[in-house]
Amino acid sequence: MKKLSQLLLKSFIGPFLVTFLVTMFMFVMQFLWKYVDDMMGKGIEIHVILELLIYASARLVNLSLPLAILLSSIMTFGALAENYELAAMKSCGLSLLRIMRPLIVFMTIFALGAFLFANNVWPIANLKFKSLLYSIIQQRPALNLTDGVFYNGIEGISMRVAHKNEETNELTDVLIYDHREKYKGNRTVIRAERGQMQQTEDKRFLVLTLFDGHSYDEQTAPTGPQPGYPSITNHFEKAILRIDLSGFEFGKTDEELFRNSYEMMTLGQLDFAIDSIENRVDQRKVDIQKYIKKNLYITRDSIRFDKYSDSLKVLPDSVTNRKFFFERLTPSQRNRALEQAQDLSRGAKGYIERVQKDMEGKLSYVNKHKIEWHRKLFLAFACIVLFFIGAPLGAIIRKGGLGLPTVVALGFFIVYHVLTIIGEKLVREDVLEPVVGMWMSSIILFPLGVFLTYKAATDSTLLDREAYTKFIDKVFRKKKKIGE
């Protein structure tokens, strides 16, 4: 039995590692294509991009791991069935569940590891990923001059060159608008026939050496009786312009900016955050009730009896007396009372609408925390469910390799992924409770796994093409006999 367990584990681990790496590569490439526009042309060093991809890979485990388990389990048991090794094991009196037992134990331990990964590694990877991606998106484009096009990437400088020699960094027909002094406009203009561009060794400054040019400097208006804007024009044979490039240096954003996000929390931290938010929601409800009772009570009237008649000061507070009192008002007093009643109604309606939006926002924020809470447990259980779908399915289809098993696995994974997305979306829209929406795909697929395991254990011809062909031929033969 020990050798059998070793055989099954070796047969499973090989395809699992291959499929996991392949699926991970596919999802990372999808991520890279999504954010490639935010990375291009910014001079980001390769080690920064590799670091970002590593953090992104950790975030994509929730997609790659279930697909790899499903595909590798189908391939493993499909190959065993195709080579009649599964039949040989059953002929020795071993049931399918007994054959699967080493892998069931392995998957249980593996699911526990997936949970620990989701609870401890995910939050750190999400934090690093968010802060690094934000830093890359905020990074300025690299200094790259295009012939005949104004470059505005340097703060306070707008520069245009007719031509730039990429090998020697020589420039021709240089035009520079210098507006580094805020609120001063383009008062300094420099134009040169040619120039030379180079950076200092520490890449901190850009040094522009300009030849045979003019500079125009428009001064501020004088305070004398005759207002005007004097202009100073200088001709130079050689001028050196030193421009600070510190804004182009890549700097990582402080991680504290994202640390309090629900994606960066463990189960314990999520529990604490959910309790805190729900306590604030309960306190908000109490405050709303107090405010409504104090300011928007339903029996509040827009008419003050003592404002119109001393003889009606002490009328009982009843509908009959109020109606009687309203009928005795003058037309102008009635209009004023109705206008005040409308103002009170509009104010109450507006307040209730604002309160409703505020409560919806708070409940949505609570649901996001609960989604993340269930996601950490959901990954571990999904691995087990998809294994119990893939293993018996491979035994039924009796095909190994990357042909039919891949097609079948992708079909089931698409169903699993779509159900997961729909469930999460319904939870975010407050249609389903998080415990139902986040586990919807597992709730639906788990009975399917039980059914397939039963069919595989009883040597069902569920996916045997010959069995269906014989059944259809049998039906047509019966119809033909009835027709005769």
Beta bridge partners of 215: 190, 234
pLDDT of residue 313: 45
Is residue 215 within 8 A of residue 189, CB to CB? The reply is yes
What DSSP state is assigned to residue 430?
A: T
3-state secondary structure of 230: coil
Domain membership flag for residue 453: yes
Are residues 119 and 172 both part of a single domain? no
Domain membership flag for residue 145: no
Element (H, E) at 198: strand 188-199
Q: Quick one: CA dihedral 39, 41, 43, 47, positive or negative?
A: positive
Chain centroid offset of residue 138 CA: 18
C-alpha pair distances (Å), 66 with each of 13, 243, 378 = 14, 53, 11
Which residue among 248, 280, 312 closes a domain?
248
Beta bridge partners of 236: 213
Q: Which domain holds residue 194?
A: 157-248
Domain membership flag for residue 144: no
Which residue among 214, 248, 282 closes a domain?
248
What whole-number distance in Å separates Cα of residue 43 and Cα of residue 51? 15
Domain membership flag for residue 230: yes
Phi, psi of 285 (to 5 degrees): -65, -40
Are residues 128 and 210 both part of a single domain? no
Domain membership flag for residue 120: yes
Are residues 18 and 102 both part of a single domain? yes
Listed residue (217, 215, 219, 216) closest to 239, CA to CA? 215
3-state secondary structure of 471: helix
CATH number for the domain that contains residue 238:
2.30.30
pLDDT of residue 94: 81
Are residues 402 and 464 both part of a single domain? yes
Task: Compute the chain's Rg from CA coordinates.
Answer: 37
C-alpha pair distances (Å), 5 with each of 1, 10, 180, 211, 269 = 6, 9, 73, 80, 39
Which residue among 305, 336, 365 closes a domain?
365
Are residues 389 and 424 both part of a single domain? yes
What DSSP state is assigned to residue 317?
A: S
Are residues 21 and 124 both part of a single domain? yes
Q: What amino acid occupies position 44?
A: I
What whole-number distance in Å separates Cα of residue 370 and Cα of residue 429? 13
Is residue 73 within 8 A of residue 387, CB to CB? The reply is yes
Q: Which residues of 26-38 are buried (b: 16+ CB within 10 A; e: fewer)?
A: ebbeebeeeeeee
Listed residue (95, 11, 118) closest to 110, CA to CA? 118
Q: Quick one: CA dihedral 106, 61, 28, 408, positive or negative?
A: positive
Region for residue 316 given its phi and psi (left: phi exceeds 0; alpha: psi -120 to 50; beta: otherwise): beta
Are residues 288 and 397 both part of a single domain? no
C-alpha pair distances (Å), 407 with each of 271, 394, 400 = 40, 12, 12
What whole-number distance in Å separates Cα of residue 265 and Cα of residue 273? 9
Chain centroid offset of residue 62 CA: 13
C-alpha pair distances (Å), 397 with each of 67, 334, 469 = 18, 84, 15
pLDDT of residue 127: 84
Number of domains making up the chain: 3
Are residues 13 and 116 both part of a single domain? yes
Instruction: Give the global pTM.
Output: 0.65
- What the block records as the tokens of 223 is 């305070």
What whole-number distance in Å separates Cα of residue 309 and Cα of residue 293? 28
Are residues 7 and 135 both part of a single domain? yes
What whole-number distance in Å separates Cα of residue 245 and Cα of residue 159? 14
Domain membership flag for residue 261: no
Are residues 330 and 216 both part of a single domain? no
Domain membership flag for residue 123: yes
Are residues 163 and 234 both part of a single domain? yes
pLDDT in tens, the chain (484 residues): 577 788 888 888 888 898 888 888 888 888 888 777 666 656 677 887 888 888 888 878 888 888 889 888 888 888 888 888 887 887 887 888 888 888 888 889 988 998 988 888 888 888 888 888 777 766 655 566 778 888 776 777 788 888 888 777 788 888 888 776 665 556 788 888 888 887 777 667 778 888 888 887 766 555 555 555 566 777 888 888 887 766 555 555 656 667 777 788 888 888 888 888 888 888 888 888 877 777 665 555 555 544 444 444 444 444 445 555 667 777 887 788 788 878 877 877 888 888 888 888 888 888 888 888 888 888 888 889 888 888 888 888 877 666 677 777 788 888 888 888 898 888 888 888 888 888 888 888 888 888 888 888 877 665 555 655 665 666 666 655 555 5
What whole-number distance in Å separates Cα of residue 58 and Cα of residue 122? 7
Domain membership flag for residue 260: no
Are residues 68 and 173 both part of a single domain? no
